Amino acid sequence: MLPRMIDVARAKLPGGDIGQYQIGLGMSGLVLRHLGMEVDEFVECVRNANDEADVVAQLIGRKTDREHRALSLRLRRVTAADVPPDLRESFERFYGADLPASRRVFDILEEDDARAFGPK
């Protein structure tokens, strides 16, 4: 999730084009809450970093390895059925309304990245 968030944060910087993407809602909102950060603070962290490794180095000390692993496990289990009502409309607009409830959100995001940017 973090590489995707870094890319979106870069798109929010001068000269970037965020397009339809957002940060601070849904999965990225959970990550920011976990890190104890606001969107603007995260974007500033990305602005000041030399690369993704530098962003990670700045963020890693905010929680223990165990807490990071717990969040990772939690995020990997989030399904389309878990999308909260206040985000459902925009989620369905971006990814479709006919997704199976058991479909993992990470799989949906990876497919969206592949459509937008080509295969890895």
* Statement to judge: residues 59 and 98 lie in one domain: no
Burial class (CB within 10 angstroms; exposed 0-12, middle 13-18, buried 19+) of 63: middle
Taking only the tens of pLDDT, the chain with its 120 residues reads 888 899 999 999 999 888 888 888 888 988 999 999 999 999 999 999 999 999 999 998 888 889 989 999 999 999 999 998 888 888 898 889 999 999 999 999 888 888 877 776
Residue 92 domain-assigned (yes or no): yes
Residue 32 in any domain: the answer is yes
Residue range of the domain that includes 89: 77-120
- The predicted pLDDT at position 120 comes to 62
Please indicate, yes or no, whether residues 84 and 48 belong to a single structural domain of this protein.
Answer: no
Nearest to 3 by CA among 37, 25, 31, 41: 31
